[in-house]
Copies of this chain bind each other. A is one copy, B any other.
Amino acid sequence: MTPFQPGALDALVRNLSRHSELSNEDEAAILSLPHTLRTFEEKSFLLREGDHPTVCPILIRGYACRHKVTGGGSRQILSLNIPGDALDFQNLLVEEADHNIQMLTRGEVAKIPVLEISRLIEARPAVAQAIMVATMVESAMFREWTVSVGRRDARSRIAHLLCEFAYRVDSRGLSDGETYELPMNQEELGDATGLTAVHVNRVLKRLEAEGLIARNRRAISFPDRECLAELADFTPRYLHVRDGVSPRLRRAALPSVRDFVAAAC
């Protein structure tokens, strides 16, 4: 457990800035938030249903997910978290957490005392607003996730998850825009999409055979991104990114991405 690791919260700033305008002072205030850094192993829980959280964990490195388990024992993954995500704005204000947060891979987490967050919110309205917006955008992602699970077939569902993951990773500057290391196995992909691992496998093989994705172990790339997005019914409006994705991607953007960027200007 390392206290006050300078630079650890860069990713959080990059995350919040995607949706909101932050001044240099705002950014500096976030970066200097007191926190402790800790490594968590793959599959370790950061929060369990029923807990009452007292610190706010920020994912610095690695990947995590939110999930709930039904009475029958099956699991539904509700969202993926990538570096820079605040993992617990969702539970901060309620008595008991209603879902679990679990690491998908080994990674590092910065924990900020809730009190410090409260202080920052009071001192800096722009930061308060940015946190609210980030939380709302998270809700928007939950909604789109429901649409996928409820109304898209297995192929679109998986394609949609891949598109969203790639888009989010890109918009935070975490990828080369070519290849994405998917932080989960086919079982977990099934739990995320409401399918079985077996069916996930068949769909992935089909997408591969159709030339829509290329795989090497868990690394995935998209030879024809536009076509995949079309099939996935992926429109990034719900991600509410202010300026679209990185310049590199903006050039070669999907039509829907282009529209979105144009509309946002």
A240 located at the interface, meaning its Cβ lies under 8 Å from any Cβ of chain B in the complex: yes
Cβ distance A138 to chain B, nearest Cβ, rounded Å: 7
Beta-carbon contacts of A213-242 to B below 8 Å, as 1s and 0s?
Answer: 000000000000000000001010110100
A96: which B residues are within 8 A, CB to CB? 237, 240, 263
User: A76 contacts which of B68, B93, B150, B238 (Cβ < 8 Å)?
Assistant: B150
Query: Assuming the A-B contacts A139-B138, A142-B142, A238-B98, are A147 and B68 also in contact, with contact meaning beta carbons closer than 8 angstroms in the complex?
Result: yes
A123 located at the interface, meaning its Cβ lies under 8 Å from any Cβ of chain B in the complex: no
Nearest B residue to A231, CB-CB: B71
Contact A98 B151 (CB under 8 A): no
A144 located at the interface, meaning its Cβ lies under 8 Å from any Cβ of chain B in the complex: yes
Within 8 A of B (CB), among A86-137: 90-96, 98-99, 129, 132-133, 135-137
Cβ distance A180 to chain B, nearest Cβ, rounded Å: 23
Within 8 A of B (CB), among A46-100: 49-50, 66, 68, 70-72, 74-76, 78, 90-96, 98-99
Contact B240 A147 (CB under 8 A): no
CA distance A96 to B136 in the complex (A): 12
Contact A145 B146 (CB under 8 A): yes
A144: which B residues are within 8 A, CB to CB? 68, 98
Contact B90 A136 (CB under 8 A): yes
A244 located at the interface, meaning its Cβ lies under 8 Å from any Cβ of chain B in the complex: no
A146: which B residues are within 8 A, CB to CB? 76, 78, 142, 145-146, 149
CA distance A75 to B147 in the complex (A): 8
CA distance A132 to B92 in the complex (A): 10
Q: What are 6 A-B contacts with C-beta separation under 8 Å?
A: A70-B151, A71-B233, A78-B147, A94-B133, A95-B264, A135-B135
On A, residues with C-beta under 8 Å from B are 19, 49-50, 66, 68, 70-72, 74-76, 78, 90-96, 98-99, 129, 132-133, 135-140, 142-147, 149-152, 193-194, 233, 235, 237-238, 240, 263-264
The 4 closest A-B pairs by CB, nearest first: A150-B194, A98-B238, A71-B233, A149-B150
